[in-house]
């Protein structure tokens, strides 16, 4: 666990940081082949942090060729498991060594609170590389039952070149979720970070080479979705795409695959997760803490953000009043201040979108109980933590993904109504249920069509548990756990006749 330091400390790191601005292809930094760049903005101040290589189709072609050469050479894909393990363990150590600098870089790039960045990078990202490193030499194939005249081996092989197209809300963590199991499997990768948050992925690629990952195995291309993202989706020599982002863009990747080489596409997409408090649940500190953090954590820019809070009629007033008290303790402010819990929205457009949803909530008749605006004293793209009471399930704010610090309370009369409302969405990423009654909890868990159901806690699970969505929140692919390896491996049968 990283020790938290002062705002002055993080500001010093920020002023000394060398921010990456080039693409990373075939083991080194290089400009985009067109020489074009785009501006990278710090959303907490609106200031330009620097420029970044603007990669497009030609750069994707170069990066895929490098990834393919690296894969076919066997320099990574055919090494002994122990070798890959050692390299990834070194990478985990390097991430730990650089965690403060990476966290500050991520905070500047995205406006995320430094406390969250430190936790995500110093603990989770490093742990991901370590966990998958330790898994590599414990994955066994199978021998199928046959007669004495044959030996049938079932083996897993690395799938090849993986295209990774990523969102801006957890930039380095999402890279780690995909890159750690893909590297463990022996794959090469072409990573397209979100245009709003390219920095930490670039630095990670450099650290990976320092750890011993051969050139060409990891390539990082900053660029935009319509161009670089689409070129990854359509590339005929990419064997699989692993995408995290919105449901709308995820659908494009299915089309790209259908119109190119039919590559499999792993999709992790949006959500509108219910947080259900049945009326036998004690409205204690822990529950209130989790209700608030499940909606406001990462400034609500979270795929499983629990904006839709469905609360039993008997406990709703107590719940809402305690939530409002707790929300006051969530400081909005300078993301580099370790006391800050809510940083800025990622862009001005996104800030306006979130404020637009808040306005729509008001117009459709939800009671605004806290927040609702932009904090006047802060220069960047911030939104106040906002709470709506008396939200009706048919309101736009109860149906669409807002992706901002907004919590809405819907009153429900009983378990059946909560379940009906919770199921009434196209999404199926996550759900939370609070109840004292274990039978009710199990009934709810079984009937909620979501990839993760969390009982008496808000959690997305941990590295050991698969994460992904039902319905339009995801495909069958899962991140995390041993299941993540399935995205990056394919199964081969070797049938040997025995005479």
Asked if 67 touches ligand NAD (CB under 6 A), the answer is: no
What residues contact residue 276 under an 8 Å CB cut-off, 6+ apart? 309, 310, 311, 412, 418, 422, 431, 432, 433, 434, 444
Window of 159-167, 178-186, 200-208, 292-300 that interacts with ligand NAD by CB under 6 A: 159-167
Q: Is 111 in the site for ligand NAD (CB under 6 A)?
A: no
- Closest separation between CB of residue 459 and ligand NAD, Å? 14
Nearer to ligand NAD, 480 or 489 (CB): 480
How far is Cα 22 from Cα 32, in angstroms, rounded to an integer?
Answer: 7
Positive/negative CA dihedral, 199, 182, 263, 249: negative
303, 369, 415, 450: the catalytic one is 303
Identify which of 30, 2, 10 has the alpha carbon closest to the alpha carbon of residue 202.
30
Piece of 23-31, 162-170, 306-314, 481-489 that binds ligand NAD (CB under 6 A): 162-170
Please say which residue, 254 or 370, places its beta carbon nearer to ligand NAD: 254
Beta carbons within 10 angstroms of residue 446's beta carbon: 8
To the query of whether residue 55 is one of the catalytic residues in this protein, the response is: no
230 is a contact residue toward ligand NAD (CB under 6 A): yes
Pattern 384-413, ligand NAD, x by CB under 6 A: -----------------x-x----------
Interface residue with ligand NAD, options 98, 100, 268, 334 (CB under 6 A)? 268
Nearest in space to 152 (alpha carbons), one of 486, 499, 498:
498
Stretch that binds ligand NAD, among 36-44, 245-253, 368-376, 386-394 (CB under 6 A): 245-253
Nearest in space to 70 (alpha carbons), one of 192, 241, 219, 182: 219
Q: How far is the CB of 268 from ligand NAD (least distance, A)?
A: 3
Backbone angles phi, psi at 449, to 5 degrees: -85, 75
* Dihedral sign, Cα of residue 347, residue 232, residue 99, residue 52: negative
| 14 contacts ligand NAD (rule: CB under 6 A) | no
Provide the sign of the torsion angle of the four alpha carbons 150, 155, 160, 164, taken in this order. positive
The conformation of residue 365, written as its DSSP 8-state character, comes to T
What are the distances in angstroms from CA 179 to CA 129, 164, 294, 327?
8, 8, 26, 35
Query: Considering CB under 6 A, how many residues would be counted as binding ligand NAD?
Result: 29
Catalytic option among 106, 268, 384, 401: 268
**Contact (CB, 8 A) for 165 and 243:** yes
Q: Is 333 in the site for ligand NAD (CB under 6 A)?
A: no
Q: Which stretch binds ligand NAD (CB under 6 A): 36-44, 59-67, 189-197, 358-366?
A: 189-197
Residue 30 annotated in active site:
no
The binding track of 421-450 with respect to ligand NAD, each residue x by CB under 6 A or -, is --------x---------------------
Question: Which residue lies nearer to ligand NAD by CB, 130 or 197?
Answer: 197
Q: Binding to ligand NAD by residue 335, rule CB under 6 A?
A: no
Cα separation, 121 vs 91, in Å, equals 13
Establish if 303 lies at the interface with ligand NAD (CB under 6 A). yes
- Taking the C-alpha atoms of residue 222 and residue 166, their distance in angstroms, rounded to an integer, is 11
186 phi/psi in degrees, rounded to 5:
105, 10
Among residues 70, 108, 187, 249, the one that binds ligand NAD under rule CB under 6 A: 249
What is the x/- site pattern for ligand NAD, positions 453-472, by CB under 6 A?
Answer: ----------------x---
**Integer angstrom CA distances of residue 5 from 1, 11, 42, 93:** 12, 11, 21, 21
312 near ligand NAD (CB under 6 A): no
**244 touches ligand NAD by CB under 6 A:** yes
In the complex with ligand NAD, the residue whose CB is nearer, 254 or 378, is: 254
Is position 321 an interface residue for ligand NAD (rule: CB under 6 A)?
no
Site mask for ligand NAD (CB under 6 A), range 164-183, x = bound? -xxxxx--------------
The per-residue DSSP string of 29-55 comes to EE--TT--EEEEEETTTTEEEEEEE-B
Q: Is 192 in the site for ligand NAD (CB under 6 A)?
A: yes
Alpha carbon distance 35, 37 (integer Å): 7
Q: How many angstroms separate the most distant Cα atoms in the chain?
A: 82
Residues of the shown chain interacting with ligand NAD in the complex, contacts defined by CB under 6 A: 165-169, 192, 194-195, 224-226, 229-230, 233, 244-246, 249, 252, 268-271, 303, 401, 403, 429, 469, 474
Residue positions annotated with a catalytic role? 268, 303
């Amino acid at each position: 666990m990283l020790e938290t330091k002062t705002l002055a400390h993080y500001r010093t790191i920020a002023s000394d940081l060398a921010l990456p601005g080039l693409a990373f292809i075939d083991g080194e930094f290089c400009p985009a082949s067109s020489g074009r760049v785009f501006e990278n903005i710090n959303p907490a101040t609106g200031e330009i942090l620097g420029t970044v290589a603007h990669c497009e189709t030609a750069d994707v072609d170069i990066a895929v060729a490098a990834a393919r050469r690296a894969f076919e050479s066997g320099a990574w894909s055919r090494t002994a498991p122990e070798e890959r393990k050692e390299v990834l363990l070194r990478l985990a150590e390097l991430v730990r060594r650089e965690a403060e600098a990476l966290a500050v870089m991520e905070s500047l790039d995205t406006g995320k609170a430094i406390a969250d960045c430190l936790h995500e990078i110093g603990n989770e990202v490093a742990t991901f590389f370590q966990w998958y490193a330790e898994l590599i030499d414990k994955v066994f194939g199978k021998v199928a039952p046959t007669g004495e005249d044959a030996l049938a081996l079932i083996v897993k092989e690395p799938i090849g070149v993986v295209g990774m197209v990523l969102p801006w809300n957890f930039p380095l963590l999402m890279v780690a979720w995909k890159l750690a199991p893909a590297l463990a499997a022996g794959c090469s990768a072409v990573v397209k970070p979100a245009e709003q948050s390219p920095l930490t992925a670039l630095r990670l690629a450099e650290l990976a080479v320092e750890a011993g990952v051969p050139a060409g195995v990891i390539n990082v291309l900053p660029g935009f979705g319509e161009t670089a993202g689409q070129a990854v989706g359509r590339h005929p020599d990419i064997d699989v795409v692993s995408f995290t982002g919105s449901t709308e863009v995820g659908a494009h990747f299915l089309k790209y695959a259908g119109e190119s080489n039919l590559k499999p596409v792993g999709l992790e997409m949006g959500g509108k997760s219910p947080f259900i408090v049945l009326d036998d649940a004690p409205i204690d500190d822990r529950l209130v803490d989790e209700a608030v953090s499940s909606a406001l954590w990462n400034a609500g820019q979270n795929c499983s953000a629990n904006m839709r809070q469905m609360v039993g009629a008997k406990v709703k007033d107590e719940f809402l009043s305690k939530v409002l008290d707790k929300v006051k303790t969530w400081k909005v402010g300078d993301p580099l201040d370790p006391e800050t819990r809510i940083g800025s929205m990622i862009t001005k457009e996104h800030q306006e979108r979130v404020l637009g949803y808040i306005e729509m909530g008001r117009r459709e008749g939800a009671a605004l109980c806290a927040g609702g605006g932009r904090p006047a004293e802060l220069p960047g793209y911030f939104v106040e933590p906002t709470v709506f009471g008396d939200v009706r399930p048919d309101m736009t704010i109860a149906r669409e993904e807002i992706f901002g610090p907004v919590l809405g309370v819907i009153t429900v009369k009983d378990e059946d109504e909560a379940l009906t409302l919770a199921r009434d969405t196209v999404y199926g990423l996550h759900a939370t249920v609070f109840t004292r009654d274990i039978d009710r909890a199990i009934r709810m868990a079984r009937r909620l069509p979501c990839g993760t159901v969390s009982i008496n806690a808000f959690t997305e699970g941990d590295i050991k548990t698969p994460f992904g969505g039902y319905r339009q929140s995801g495909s069958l692919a899962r991140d995390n756990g041993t299941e993540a390896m399935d995205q990056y491996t394919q199964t081969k049968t070797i049938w040997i006749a025995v005479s």
